Structure 1
Amino acid sequence: MIGFIIGVFALAGMIKGTIGLGLPAVSMGLLTIFITPFQAATLLIVPSMVTNIWQLFAEGHVLKLVRRFWPLLLGIIVGSVWSIFPTLGHGEFKSEALLGAMLALYGLYGLFAQNMPNLGAYEKWLSPTVGYLGGALTVATGVVVIPVVPFLQSLHLKRDELVQSLGLAFTVSTLCLAVFLQQNPIGNISVDYKMSLIALFPALLGMWLGTKIRYRISEQKFRKVFFFGLVVFGSYMLIHQFGII
């Protein structure tokens, strides 16, 4: 099992290093083949936190971003505390189904999103709502993507601002996820920080390899294959949980 976990995080890190995203989505999707979403989410804490903080502080201007996006961050915190969705490992509705739907939507978004409409004029009142949904889905699936990523991209930020803004949102959501998992253990399953720390090293190695791959292949083609794979895999998870196949 340790070898499988190392392989998963190396692959997820490579994808993140190549296209700049995808580590939590790929990790959660593959790990839940053999372990529960709750267990998989506990392994994400250290790799996600380290890579997100790295992404956040790479360019500076962090306080400026916090002042601008505090309603979004507050929404994430509130959503993670009072989620409208069944949370990881709790409730009758299996988190695998919701995770599958999230991955499929993420893949479809990546495949078909072209020029996002500029929602900058509506940022103030959209931010808390988007943040709340993002936080609620984080503690329900272990992944924060929809609707936070599309929303930040719709603000038409400069490239470095967008990367840092995503890092900021991901960092806060990962902290919220860590607190949730710590306070809501299932049976004897709690956050395994030792194994999560072990997972950090293949993730970082994968990111390093991904940056090398980025300059050798077409990033656009790689992105299409990646997002198409998420659609197929997420759809399979969704229909399998409902007993269709």
Structure 2
Amino acid sequence: MDMLFQEIGPGALALCLMVGLLAGVVKGMVGFAMPMVMISGMGLVVGPEWALAGLILPTVATNVWQAFRQGWRGAWAAIRRFQLFLSVAFVTLILSAQLVAVLPDWLMQALVGGPILAFALSQLLGYPLRLGTPPPRRVELSVALLAGGVGGISGVWGPPTVAYLTAMETPKKEQIQLQGVIYGLGSVALLGAHLGSGVLRAQTLPFSVMLVPVALIGMAIGFRVQDRIDQSAFRKATLVVLFIAGLSLLGQAVAGLV
């Protein structure tokens, strides 16, 4: 603990805990966005690498809860349905995680923020992307490669996946569980990848552990809200969260260039 205070400082740590709580609330409401909120919010306080390390364990814990909240049968059905997507995304995630120490921070942020901002804005302006169910195989492969590649570099693989499920017009409860399963397996892969990359190490592990309880508390609050909103409100909330996160990340990328 003393080492953590020396590395970060009590004021910065308190701000990060607040960001973790907010990220849990948002994830409980819309089923995703915890990594986006944490890396964009905490990145302003402790930098992208510490933010990436901090989000790893809270992401694993909250996704396990989300995946099994509706029961294990639905979770297993989701794994079977999206086995190609999951396989391709995880391999790409593990490979791209090794680029964290090479790529500049602004590029990591731009790779996530730009495409997601464009997707959310087009949806909110009334130009929806509809893929149908099941979507074309080439689309599934492309989204899996994008989600895995961006996820390994930045810890944020949710937006491409959410965009994909939203374009398939997936019902709210099914989408929430699908996201939990996909992100849960992805977060385990991310944990293993960054144990190997050195992002999650003796200095950063206590920071990630401290963020787990506040993230779970926030998620419990968010679940209560989610249970009370209908499909239309859920879709709008999802798109608004995507828009805000994309705008924040793209703004940070631009700031890193000047």
Give the equivalent residue in structure 2 for 1:43: 54
Distance 1:45 1:86, change over 3 A: closer
Of all paired residues, the percent bearing the same amino acid is 20
Q: Tell me, in whole angstroms, the C-alpha distance in 1 between the residues paired with 2:142 and 2:243.
A: 28
Report the alpha carbon displacement of residue 77 of structure 1 after superposing the two structures with TM.
1.6
Count matched residues: 238
Q: In terms of mean alpha carbon deviation, does 34-43 or 93-102 score higher?
A: 93-102
Q: Tell me, in whole angstroms, the C-alpha distance in 2 between the residues paired with 1:194 and 1:201.
A: 13
**Residue identity matched to 1:164:** Q
Q: Tell me, in whole angstroms, the C-alpha distance in 2 between the residues paired with 1:181 and 1:96.
A: 19
Q: Tell me, in whole angstroms, the C-alpha distance in 2 between the residues paired with 1:148 and 1:212.
A: 23
Q: Is the 8 A contact 2:130 2:167 kept in 1?
A: yes
The correspondence of residues 175-214 of structure 1 with structure 2, limited to 5 A, is: 175-185=188-198, 189=201, 192-211=204-223
Give the equivalent residue in structure 2 for 1:242: 257
Q: Tell me, in whole angstroms, the C-alpha distance in 1 between the residues paired with 2:156 and 2:33.
A: 10
Report the alpha carbon displacement of residue 35 of structure 1 after superposing the two structures with TM.
2.4
Q: Aligned-pair RMSD on alpha carbons?
A: 2.9
For residue 34 of structure 1, give the secondary structure of its aligned residue in structure 2: helix
Distance 1:151 1:37, change over 3 A: same
Q: Tell me, in whole angstroms, the C-alpha distance in 2 between the residues paired with 1:67 and 1:131.
A: 15
Give the equivalent residue in structure 2 for 1:110: 120
- CA displacement, residues 131-168 of structure 1 (integer Å, 9 cap, x when unaligned): 22211111111101342222222233333222222112
1:157 pairs with 2:157: no
The correspondence of residues 71-110 of structure 1 with structure 2, limited to 5 A, is: 71-83=84-96, 87-88=99-100, 90-91=101-102, 93-110=103-120
Give the equivalent residue in structure 2 for 1:141: 154
Give the equivalent residue in structure 2 for 1:68: 81
For residue 205 of structure 1, give the secondary structure of its aligned residue in structure 2: helix
1:229 pairs with 2:236: no
For residue 32 of structure 1, give the secondary structure of its aligned residue in structure 2: helix
Give the equivalent residue in structure 2 for 1:3: 14
Give the equivalent residue in structure 1 for 2:6: none
Match of 1:22 among 26, 33, 37: 33
Report the alpha carbon displacement of residue 199 of structure 1 after superposing the two structures with TM.
0.5
**Residue identity matched to 2:211:** A
Give ranges in structure 1 of 5+ residues lacking alignment.
none
Q: Is the 8 A contact 1:120 1:154 kept in 2?
A: no
Q: Tell me, in whole angstroms, the C-alpha distance in 1 between the residues paired with 2:107 and 2:57.
A: 25
Distance 1:142 1:6, change over 3 A: same
**Residue identity matched to 1:21:** F
**Residue identity matched to 1:6:** L
Q: In terms of mean alpha carbon deviation, does 144-153 or 132-141 score higher?
A: 144-153
Give the equivalent residue in structure 2 for 1:124: 137
**Residue identity matched to 1:176:** A
Distance 1:13 1:182, change over 3 A: same
Q: Tell me, in whole angstroms, the C-alpha distance in 1 between the residues paired with 2:107 and 2:158.
A: 16
Q: Tell me, in whole angstroms, the C-alpha distance in 2 between the residues paired with 1:120 and 1:225.
A: 24
TM-score, normalised to structure 2, is 0.78
**Residue identity matched to 1:133:** L
TM-score, normalised to structure 1, is 0.82
Give ranges in structure 2 of 5+ residues lacking alignment.
1-11
Give the equivalent residue in structure 1 for 2:4: none
